[in-house]
Amino acid sequence: MTVLRPLAIGAIVATVVAGVAFATSIPTTVGTLGAGTAAVNACDSDGLTYRYAVDTSGKITTVTVGSIALACAGGTLRLTLTNGTASVGSGSIALPSSGFSGSVSIALSPAPASDQVTAAYAVIEGP
Amino acid sequence: MIAVALLHAIAPGPATAAVLTVTSADLTAYAKTYGTPATCTLSATADSYVNKVLSGTNFGTATTLLVSPDSTTTERTFIRFDLASCAPAIPAGAIIQSASLRLTVALLITATRTVELRSALASWTETGVTWTNQPAAASAVTASTSVLAGSTAGTVVTWTATSDVQAFVTGASSNLGWRLSDSAEGVVLGPILTLSSREASSGQPQLVVTYVS
C-alpha cells in the first residue's frame, strides 16, 4: 500500500494536467444551436436557353438567356461560365419587374475566349 | 475524488456554438455542361467574283476567285456556305470555338496584299451577282489577312470568321455569305490575287467550324 499510494497520486495529477491542457483548446462560447428546414421556391422549372455572341477576337461578350419564366420577373439572374475548374466569365442582371419578356442579355466580365467555356451556371435569386 | 471533481469542472461539456442563422430565399439554379468539341468542314455552296470594268458580267462558273485593288478593274469575291448542312447540325445554343475560311492560292502572288473579310448584307446568287448588283457588305471587318508575295499555287490562306458564324448560328444575323476585298482599293495597276473557286479541280474553298453544344 505504501508503494502504490504515491503512484496513484501521480496518476491523478497527470490526469488533471492533461485535462487542463485539453480543455483550454476548446471554444467555450455559449450559445444555441438550431436546426430546421425551409422551403426554397424556384420561379422557373423548365430550363433556360443560351445564345452566345462572340467578337472578332474570339471572346464571348454577351450571353442572351431565354425561356425564363415570367414568374421570375423582379429577380436577379447571375450567370457564370467555367472552364471546368474555374470561373472564366460572369455577369448578372436584374429581371424587370414589369414588361419582362422572358429573355435578357448579360454582358460578361471578363469576356472569356469561346474555346475556354465548358459549362454555364445560371442562378435566379428571388423574386 | 479531488481529481475527479477538477476534471468535471474544466473538462469540455457538450459542444456549444453561436447562434446559427439560415436565411432562405427563392432560388432557381441550372447547370449546362458542354460536350466534346465537334468539327464540321463545309464546302462552299456559292462563290463568284465581280469586276468593276466588266460591271454587268457574272463569273459564277469560273474556276478562280479574284481580288484586286486596281482602280479600274477592281475585283471582289463573294462566297457562301450552308451551315445547316453540318452533320450533326449546329444548334442555336452552341458555342462556336472557331471558324476558319480557307482559300487556296491558284497563281503565284506577286505582291503582298491585305484582304478583308466582311459579311454580306443582302442576298446574292452565284450566277447572278455582278459589280452592278453586288450586295453591300458590313462596315466592320470580320477578319483581315495578309497574303504574302511569293505565295505559290496551293498555299492556303485563312480568315477567322468565328464572330460571324456565331451570329449566323444564333440567328443574330443572316447568313448571306461574305465579301473578300483588298484593304486598299483604288491602286493604279494593282495586282490580282487569284484563288481557287468551288469549280476548281483542287483547293476548293472550305469553312472549318469547331463548336460545342
pLDDT value of residue B188: 87
pLDDT tens for residues B10-23?
Answer: 444 444 444 544 44
C-alpha to C-alpha distance for B205 and B197, rounded to whole angstroms: 6
Inter-chain CB pairs, A–B, below 8 Å: 145
pLDDT value of residue A18: 43
Q: Flag if B32 and A119 touch (Cβ within 8 Å).
A: yes
Question: Before A27, cis peptide (omega within 30)?
Answer: no
Helix (H) or strand (E) holding A7: helix A4-23
Interface predicted TM-score (ipTM): 0.83
Considering only the beta carbons, identify the residue of A19, A60, A64 that sits closest to B11.
A19
Considering only the beta carbons, identify the residue of A26, A51, A126 that sits closest to B26.
A126
Q: Is pLDDT of A127 > 60?
A: yes
pLDDT tens for residues B34-77?
Answer: 999 999 999 999 999 999 999 999 999 999 999 999 999 999 99
Q: What is the DSSP string of A76-98?
A: EEEEEEESSSSEEEEEEEEPPSS
pLDDT value of residue A126: 83
pLDDT tens for residues B164-202?
Answer: 999 999 999 999 999 999 999 998 888 899 999 999 999
Q: Which residue of B has its CA nearest to A113?
A: B97
Tell me which of B20, B23, B27, B95 to substitute to probe the interface with A (most A C-beta atoms closer than 10 Å).
Answer: B95
Q: Cα(first)–Cα(last) distance of chain A, in Å?
A: 78
Which A-chain residues 39-98 have CB contacts (< 8 A) with chain B? 39-45, 47-56, 58, 60, 64, 72, 75
The shortest C-alpha distance from A99 to chain B (Å) reads 20
Q: Name the residue with cell 451577282.
A: B129
CA-closest candidate to residue B209, choices B104, B91, B46, B76: B91
Q: Which domains does chain A have, with CATH numbers?
A: 49-125 (2.40.30)
Angle at which helices A4-23 and B2-10 pack, to 10 degrees? 10
CA atoms within 13 A on the CB side of B131: 16
CA-closest candidate to residue B75, choices B86, B87, B66, B62: B66
In eight-state DSSP terms, residue A31 is -
pLDDT tens for residues B139-174?
Answer: 999 999 999 999 999 999 999 999 999 999 999 999
Considering only the beta carbons, identify the residue of A26, A31, A51 that sits closest to B92.
A51
The shortest C-alpha distance from B98 to chain A (Å) reads 7
The shortest C-alpha distance from B194 to chain A (Å) reads 26
Confidence of residue A42 (pLDDT cuts 50, 70, 90): confident
Q: Is pLDDT of A40 > 90?
A: no
C-alpha cell at B64: 478562280
Cβ neighbours around A59 below 10 Å, total: 18
Q: Which residue of B has its CA nearest to A27?
A: B16
- Decide if A69 contacts A45 (C-beta within 8 A): yes
Confidence of residue A7 (pLDDT cuts 50, 70, 90): very low
Question: Which residues lie closer than 8 Å to A7 by C-beta, 6 or more apart?
Answer: none
CA-closest candidate to residue A93, choices A107, A111, A72: A107
Amino acid (one-letter) located at B77: T
What average pLDDT does chain B have? Answer: 90
C-alpha to C-alpha distance for B44 and A68, rounded to whole angstroms: 37
Taking 3-state DSSP, the helix, strand and coil percentages for chain B, each rounded to the nearest 5, stand at: 10, 35, 55
pLDDT value of residue A13: 43
C-alpha to C-alpha distance for B155 and B151, rounded to whole angstroms: 6
What average pLDDT does chain A have? Answer: 82
The shortest C-alpha distance from A78 to chain B (Å) reads 9
C-alpha to C-alpha distance for B158 and B40, rounded to whole angstroms: 16
C-alpha to C-alpha distance for B4 and A78, rounded to whole angstroms: 58
Question: Worst-scoring range by mean pLDDT, A6-15, A103-112, B21-30, B48-57?
Answer: A6-15
